[in-house]
Amino acid sequence: MAQTAERVVGTEVRRKEDPELITGQARYSDDLAAPGMLWMKLVLSPFAHARITSVDVSPALQVPGVVAAFGGRDLAGEWAGPLPTAWPVTDDLKNPPMYPLATDEVRFQGEGVAVVLAESRAAAEDGAEAVVAEYDPLPVVLDMEEALKDGADLVHADLGTNASYTWTLTNGDVDAVFATAPVVVKERYVVQRQIPAAMEPRALLAEYAPAMGEYTLTTSTQIPHIVRVVLAAFVLGIPESKLRVRAPNVGGGFGSKIRVSPEESLALVLARRTGRPVKWTGDRSSDVLTTHHARDQIQEIELAADEDGRIRGYRTRLIANMGAYLLLVGPGVPLLGAFLFCGPYGGEAYHFECTGVFTNTTPTDAYRGAGRPEATYAIERAIDALARRVGRDPVEIRRMNFLPESDGPIPSPGGLTVDSGHYNGTLDKALELVGYEELRAEQRARRERGDAKQIGIGFSTYIEMCGLAPSRVLGSLKYAAGGWDAARIRVLPTGKVTAFVGVSPHGQGHATTFSQILSDDLGIPVDDIEVVHGDTALAPLGMDTYGSRSLSVGGVAVHRAADRIVEKARKIAAHELEVSEDDLEYVRGRFSVKGAPDRARTIPEVAFSAWTAHNLPEGVEPELDASAVYDPENFVYPYGAHICAVEVDTETGQVDVLRYAAVDDVGTIINPQIVDGQVAGGVIQGIAEALFEEAVYDENGDLLTSSLTNYEVPAASDVPSIRIDKTVTPSTTNELGVKGVGETGTIASPPAVINAVVDALSHLGVTEMARPATPERVWRAIQQAKGGAA
Amino acid sequence: MEVLRPATLAEALEARSARPEAFPIAGGTDVMVAVNFDRLRPEAFLDLSRLDELRGWHEEDGEVVLGAGLTFARIERELASLPALAQAARSVGSPQIRARGTIGGNLATASPAGDALPALAAYEADVVLGSAARGERRVSLREFLLGPKRTSLEPDELVLAVRFRSPHGPGSFSKVGTRNAMVIAVASLCLQLDEDARAVRVAMGSVGPTVLRATEAEAFAARALAEAGAFDAAAAPVPAATLREFGQLAGAAARPIDDVRGTAAYRRHAVEVLARRALSWALEGRPAGRRAAG
């Protein structure tokens, strides 16, 4: 039996997305224009906390080109409700309303107070500058621990507290384990605030067709489907059917475009009020203030262990900074890490609690990894602390605590059912890849010589949960939506394929990956497959892209829809070949009669028959078209071992990443090049998080790191030699065996880097290291260990 | 906003004199950042980027003359014979920024963190200024740089060039920053050995209101090197204690402040380390040089 084509799953098919991206022909939201469109500009609060005493937009109306201007109160009647949070994690969660523009009080620097519409971008900018807003400053709340004390100044006076919620999880008899364990290690870590800095700032174009009452929003978003339902139902109060949301090419998101934004809300309302399209493009200066921030946790983690270092219990207390308001999934972000403070390690008891706290800062929400990088940071640093306490090597302590190796599901202390995993396998491979023995030898030599530049080796043997998510689990966590996704496959009469998918890529390469799956399923060349996404009118069903879900949920839906195509095609082929369906053998796009392989029908042939419909079997409808909606039964659990080698200048404190090895197990790999790109990008982002990215406010709540000059995202020169390899343990959650790879790099890498810095200085007595490990912080840690004042 | 675009230096000086409110702009790598942050809203710009007269460099009367419009990319490529300046140029921004940014801009902006300034200070450079009314004048860098973002440039003047005697001896530029590159220095330092004058020159950036010379450290090093015979014999050993003391004197000359990029205490410490290492490299870097104790 001849195969119709070589399998393409698992091969490095060139990304279909790239030609338009690298030739500059891709169209982003900012490339779009509509006849008669107006430019929108928001006036942002310079104060972190203040009462708005007046907003006078009349000077703006004098600026040539300005068409309209509104303060928050002018538009207060437009909103069906505040911008909602979709994840009220507890019944008693405090969720103060945030509207697209503030009316009485501003609670973070960058909160909008007025909006200007003009004929040009320049006129809108000038108009916004002309608006006179007056404020009466209020006390500013910045420190999370201070904010939770009695008598603290309040971000929201009417709540009577700065605490939004406390969420807890307990498995096993935690108190008993901690009372009896001979070793308890207690650590405190601060995971600093990050500014997700997608290359393309947020941007949008809003259009309104008055005769039909129809709105179209083209927006740089990760979540067109969620934006549609939330904006229509909760913010604008219009029928969902009247709002079409499109995500064109989107230049990166990393979670920062999981948002139902003030700008989207305002633009739609103002398009209706003015009868003209409204365009807005954020600039970097406003983006750093108004696009959500991330991370920002204070962590206390305790490990209870036997004397030999075998872990028996975990206890974690978090304070998580929500910023001034709860955004779409902000309160739930720490919960995405709640089950992972035990890493891939065993134990019998587990406790987690998290308090979300309000401060006068930009609200926080999801950022690549969302909760899981924070959890991984805590456990991977704490297990090193345990290793130091019991006098074990960091490799040894990990090996002795790994969960049982298994091809099938295994329960974890955090209460998860891990789909599969061979943790020693990734660790062994990473040790070899990084050249561990050679690095340790070099470390010894430098220590003996007393060199100014010392070497350190850091580990992170992480596990994560992604593929968000089983809808029933989301329900139990009080998330307001499901976690399924959908695909519709249409085989066109000519044998070409269009796949409509509900996930919404912004750089990942879904079109290529899904084409590879479909090519193998249907025997159609990759180039003959088009993937349509990011448009609620064309692909009406979907839950969008975040949480490494696109392949492990959306891709499975694609595969299942393809199965249904084959199922229907088999009926037609059997009819035409005048055999029973059971007599047909199907291999990649070709049905052949068992024992008579020359009698065959291909999928394109069947598609044509299904279209002409001249001779279809009884009860079979025309067209070769099928849909599937897939709701996963479980998460998927990528894992791996990352090892980082750094050189630390003990005199200046400068850290250089010498070498980095990432060995991940992300299950079945569809496109190795795309997977490696995800790993490398994530690792670089995580190294930056460990070494230099930090959002800093001054005591007035002014964001000091308000440009890319002093908020330091990684540059090309910061990218070290990254050695990437894999093991493949298929997931048991889905039939493709895929696990998701979008976030592994940022989840794994920060503790590997910081553990390496600590390791480089351990002979000097350094055990603590704040992050980001800037030269000054490293130098201070050395001084402190020496017992001198820095 | 109006943009004046003179085609020749003479036209530019006329325009400067007639329209002193027009803000001079060359590469724009500092100016446009200030405009973006709303710190600068001039009524007009005077675009200097078309002036061929300012673009190049040459040697004249035993001096190197760098036109104000010379870009960092060209310094990096063409002036390897001035290693400290070339290293400083290489550490400015990204390749794109270096292709636009000019040495004249670094001078006129007068940032304490201006990357080229320590090298120019260590070369004891003079700045050439010009006006339509009074012609050219030449001032020392110290007279030109008055403080953070303050210079002695008159409202009708433009920076035309910077000139200095090419030093005989090794030199280096080093800086401490968070990222590997494209970062504003927390502390920077240029050390230049002048073997003809038997002098050591040290200039520091980001640790004071403007670039600072560490004169006591310089005098100490010159004495110590002379005593050790290091100016005459490249192999003459210089004791480690001397290097350390030199570093401490350089640190003592710093006048740093605390800001978002670093504390004063760390900056002082960082220039100590940079100074010690720079002297050590300079001693090693000479022909037949030997490793100095670090």
- For residues A657-674, average pLDDT: 98
Distance from the A718 Cα atom to the nearest Cα atom in chain B, whole angstroms:
6
Q: For the CA atoms of chain A, what is the radius of gyration? A: 28
Sequence-distant (≥ 6) Cβ neighbours of residue A11 within 8 angstroms: A516, A671, A672
This prediction has a pTM of 0.96
Q: Can you tell me the distance from the alpha carbon of A602 to that of A582, in angstroms, rounded to the nearest whole number?
A: 17
Query: Which residues partner with A663 through β-bridges?
Result: A641, A725
Distance CA B282, CA B192 (A): 8
E-state strands within A634-687: 639-649, 655-665
Question: Touching check for B37 and chain A: CB below 8 Å?
Answer: yes
In chain B, the percentage of residues whose pLDDT exceeds 70 is: 96
pLDDT tens for A555-594 read 999 999 999 999 999 999 999 999 999 999 999 999 999 9
Q: CA–CA separation, B176 vs B211, rounded Å?
A: 15
Chain A residues whose beta carbon lies within 8 Å of the beta carbon of residue B251 = none
Which residues does chain B have within 8 Å of residue A120's beta carbon, measured at their own beta carbons?
none
Cα gap B245→B231, rounded to integer Å: 19
Q: Do A709 and B262 touch (CB under 8 A)?
A: no
Nearest to A753 by CA among A329, A433, A420, A459: A459
Please, what are the domains in chain B? 2-165 (3.30.465.10), 173-284 (3.30.390.50)
pLDDT beyond 80 at A256: yes
CA distance B23 to B31: 9
Contacts of B183 in chain A (CB under 8 A): 712
Query: What pLDDT was estimated at residue B287?
Result: 63
Instruction: Report how many Cβ contacts below 8 Å link chain A to chain B.
Output: 60
Asked if B45 and B23 count as a contact pair (C-beta separation under 8 A), the reply is yes
- Per the listing, tokens 């003030």 go with A262
- Give the Cα separation of B102 and B26 in Å (integer): 7
Query: Left if phi > 0, otherwise alpha if psi is -120 to 50, otherwise beta: which for A256?
Result: alpha
Amino acid at A279: K
The average confidence (pLDDT) of chain B is 93
The dihedral region occupied by A521, where left means phi > 0, alpha psi between -120 and 50, and beta the remainder, is alpha
Q: How close are the terminal C-alpha atoms of chain A, in Å?
A: 76
A305 and A314 Cβ atoms separated by less than 8 Å = no
**Would you place residue A787 in the very low, low, confident or very high pLDDT band (cuts 50, 70, 90)?**
confident
Cα A540 to Cα A323: distance, rounded to the nearest angstrom: 33
Q: Is the pLDDT of residue A468 over 90?
A: yes
In angstroms, the separation between the Cα of residue A686 and the nearest Cα of chain B is 14
Which three-class secondary structure state does DSSP give residue B53?
A: helix
| Residues 6 or more apart in contact with residue A760 via CB below 8 angstroms | A443, A454, A455, A456, A646, A647, A648
pLDDT band at A5 (very low <50, low <70, confident <90, very high): low
Q: Which of the four pLDDT bands, split at 50, 70 and 90, describes residue B260?
A: confident
Does B90 touch chain A if contact means CB atoms closer than 8 Å?
A: no
B177-206 residues touching A, CB cutoff 8 A: 177-184, 186
Residue B277 pLDDT > 70, yes or no? yes
Closest to B85 (Cα-Cα) out of B117, B126, B127: B117
User: When comparing pLDDT for A716 and A145, which is higher?
Assistant: A145
- Cβ A351 vs Cβ A376: under 8 Å: no
Bridging pattern class, strands A183-194 and A105-106: unpaired
Collect all residues with Cβ–Cβ distance below 8 Å to A546 and sequence separation of at least 6. A222, A223, A255, A258, A366, A370, A468
Other residues' Cβ atoms within 10 Å of the Cβ of residue A18? 12
Q: Could you tell me the strand order of the sheet in which A655-665 lies? A: A453-463, A639-649, A655-665, A721-726
Check residues A718 and A739 and name the one with the higher pLDDT.
A739
Decide if pLDDT at A789 tops 60. Answer: no
Q: Is B142 on the interface with A (CB under 8 A)?
A: no
**According to the CATH classification, is domain A32-138+199-252+257-290 in 3.90.1170.50?**
yes
Q: Using CA atoms, how far apart are residues B213 and B249, in angstroms rounded to an integer?
A: 11
Distance CA A62, CA A58 (A): 7
Neighbouring-strand partners of residue B127: B139, B162
Q: Other CB atoms closer than 10 Å to residue B292's CB: what's the count? A: 21
Strand partners, A510: none
Q: Say how many C-beta atoms besides its own lie within 10 A of residue A210's C-beta.
A: 9
Closest CA to B151 of B105, B199, B107, B195: B107
CB–CB contact A776 B262 (8 Å): yes
CA atoms within 13 A on the CB side of A535: 9
**Fold identical between A294-468+634-785 and A484-630?**
yes
* Average pLDDT along chain A: 96
Mean pLDDT of B175-185: 77
CA A451 to chain B, closest CA, distance in angstroms equals 10
pLDDT for residue A41 is more than 90: yes
**Between B260, B269, B270, which is nearest A710 by CB?**
B260
- Identity of the amino acid at A595: G
Q: What is the pLDDT of residue A2?
A: 41
Domains of chain A: which residue ranges?
32-138+199-252+257-290, 294-468+634-785, 484-630
Q: Determine phi and psi for A456, rounding to 5 degrees.
A: -135, 150
Rounded-to-10 torsion of CA A755, A758, A760, A763: -140
Kind of pairing between the strands at B145-147 and B157-165? unpaired
| Distance (Å, whole) CA A414 – CA A422 | 18
CB-side exposure of A159: number of CA atoms within 13 Å? 23
**Contact partners, residue B70, CB within 8 Å, separation at least 6:** B54, B55, B56, B57, B102, B103, B104
Q: Which of residues 683-742 of A touch B (CB under 8 A)?
A: 691-692, 696, 704-705, 707, 709-710, 712, 714-715, 717-718
**B92 to chain A: which residues are within 8 Å by CB?**
none
Helix H or strand E segment including A462:
strand A453-463
pLDDT at position B182 is: 66
Do B266 and A775 count as a contact with CB atoms less than 8 A apart?
yes
Residues with Cβ within 8 Å of residue B102, at least 6 apart in sequence:
B26, B27, B68, B69, B70, B71, B72
Closest approach of chain A CAs to the CA of B128, in angstroms?
30
Identity of the residue in A285, A653, A776 whose CB atom sits nearest the CB atom of B263: A776
Q: Report CB contact under 8 Å: A772, B178.
A: yes
Instruction: Name the phi and psi angles at A628, rounded to 5.
Output: -150, 145
Q: What fold characterizes domain A294-468+634-785?
A: Aldehyde Oxidoreductase; domain 4 (3.30.365)
- A131-156 per-residue burial string, b: 16 or more CB within 10 A, e: under 16: bebebeebebbbebeebeeeebebbb
- Give A781's contacts in chain B (Cβ within 8 Å): none
pLDDT-derived band at B251, boundaries 50, 70, 90: very high
pLDDT at A757 over 70: yes
| Mean pLDDT calculated for residue range B140-156 | 96
Inform me whether the C-beta atom of residue A122 falls under 8 Å from chain B C-beta atoms. Answer: no
β A38-44/A278-281 pair status: parallel
Instruction: Report the run of H or E that residue A716 belongs to, with start and end.
Output: none
Share of chain A above pLDDT 70, in %: 99
Q: Whole-angstrom Cα distance, residue B55 to residue A219?
A: 44
Q: Quick one: closest CA in B to A651, which residue?
A: B273
- Please state, in angstroms and rounded to a whole number, the distance separating the CA atoms of residues A216 and A219: 10
- pLDDT tens digits, one per residue of B19-30: 999 999 999 999
pLDDT in tens, A196-248: 999 999 999 999 999 999 999 999 999 999 999 999 999 999 999 999 999 99
Q: How far apart are CA B170 and CA B150, in angstroms?
A: 31
Closest CA to A471 of A460, A481, A462: A481
Nearest CB partner across the interface for A775, out of B36, B176, B265:
B176
Output the pLDDT for position B94.
87
Q: Tokens representing A369? A: 């990894």
Residue A621 backbone dihedrals phi, psi, to 5 degrees: -80, 155
Note whether A656 and A756 are within 8 A (CB). Answer: no
Mutate to test the interface with B, among A774, A777, A782 (most CBs of B within 10 A): A774
Q: How many CB atoms lie within 10 A of CB B293?
A: 13
Looking at chain A, which residue has its C-alpha nearest residue B184? A709
Chain B residues within 8 A of A790 when measuring between CB atoms: 265-266
Q: What CA–CA distance (Å, rounded) separates A626 from A615?
A: 20
Contact yes or no for B214/B256 (Cβ under 8 A): no
Which pLDDT tens digit goes with each residue over A122-133? 999 999 999 999
Give the mutation candidate from A692, A697, A776 for the B interface (greatest B CB count, under 10 A).
A776
Average the pLDDT over A336-342 and give the result: 98
Residue B180: predicted pLDDT? 66
The answer for A495, left when phi > 0, alpha when psi is -120 to 50, beta otherwise, is: left
CATH architecture of structural domain A484-630:
2-Layer Sandwich (3.30)
